[in-house]
A = this chain, B = another copy of it.
């Protein structure tokens, strides 16, 4: 079956091409009685929106979301919620040049192989524009998680190129165009971006997402473990090439005596596991890292072929981010929120409201 849905109880289904008429989604399974307005959703859409800084694509879209159903008298009704964003800045003429060739590093070739044809306007469905609806659906999940469980899902840019940013201050994350949590790195990032603009090149990035206050017990062994479903959701974001939970790839060189998180009466003594043990949340903060590849939409010339197999050299014109990782923070938060929301409801389905005699922290 086709793959435009995610989640089982909290289920998000999306549609929309980069240069089509509109983007939309249906969010099914939302518990009734949750206060919800368009403003709740718009906030995260604005964080993701292109054109908000000089480091991201200059495409300017208001990305104004409309709630078409499932909300009545200010609260969710439990029926499916329809969301819509109209595309206002379509400029199809920009993209005619790529109609008959396969941009290297893009999905042009694979979409054509899969479907036998493709919507070549701005990448069609393969464009990162699609992620707007992820952010919209994720905003509903975030609201529920916060309201009902005090769960906070938030992320930051952890690295661009060789500039690593440590989590020093959540407050500055929303106040700089990089979602960088380390004020001392802003200048280096700025310089890096300016250099890339000049070269017409792009660079990769690492994004970190955390979920605090997640209750223990979420995750469905043995295949739909919480970490497995997070890996699925995060890897499904455009340009992601790697996902880590907790210590991630650093575990390769760790000893068991070092990695295992010991427990005392006051709780876990460390969090190498990233909040997930045996695929089930432990009550500790859940942490994940994403590796995002450098965008292939650059002005450095590259070799490719046309649909007829002829070799050509090409550059990508137009409005593009030198680092797609920058705008990925709200998207990664949304995907983590969607997974947590879904698993909270799945846990409730089988196990009800957990009420064991086990000590909790």
Contacts and interface: CB of A to CB of B under 8 A. Distances in A.
Contact of A223 (B4, B121, B228): B4
Nearest to A28: B2
Interface stretch (A57-65, A169-177, A178-186, A199-207): A199-207
B347 A114 contact: yes
Given A232-B228, A253-B162, A356-B116, A15 B4 contact: no
B8 A80 contact: no
A70 to B, nearest CB: 6
The number of times this chain is found in the oligomer is 4
Given A20-B68, A21-B69, A265-B310, 15 more contacts: A1-B350, A29-B349, A33-B115, A78-B114, A109-B277, A110-B282, A112-B358, A125-B222, A204-B252, A231-B234, A235-B245, A241-B245, A242-B243, A262-B304, A348-B348
A17 B79 CA distance: 9
A82 B251 CA distance: 35
Closest 9 CB pairs of A and B: A107-B278, A105-B260, A3-B220, A3-B224, A349-B349, A202-B256, A232-B232, A110-B280, A228-B236
Interface size classification for chain A: 35 or more
Which interface residue of A22, A247, A252, A354 has the most chain B CB atoms within 10 A? Answer: A252
A11 B17 contact: no
6 contacts: A4-B79, A4-B80, A104-B262, A206-B249, A247-B293, A257-B302
A106 B298 CA distance: 46
B4 A114 contact: no
Contacts of A225: 3, 235-236
Contact of A359 (B22, B248, B305): B305
A13 interface: yes
Interface string A113-146: 1111111010011100010000000000000000
Interface in A29-70: 29-33, 66-70
A6 B223 contact: yes
B351 A32 contact: yes
Contacts of A347: 114
A150 interface: no
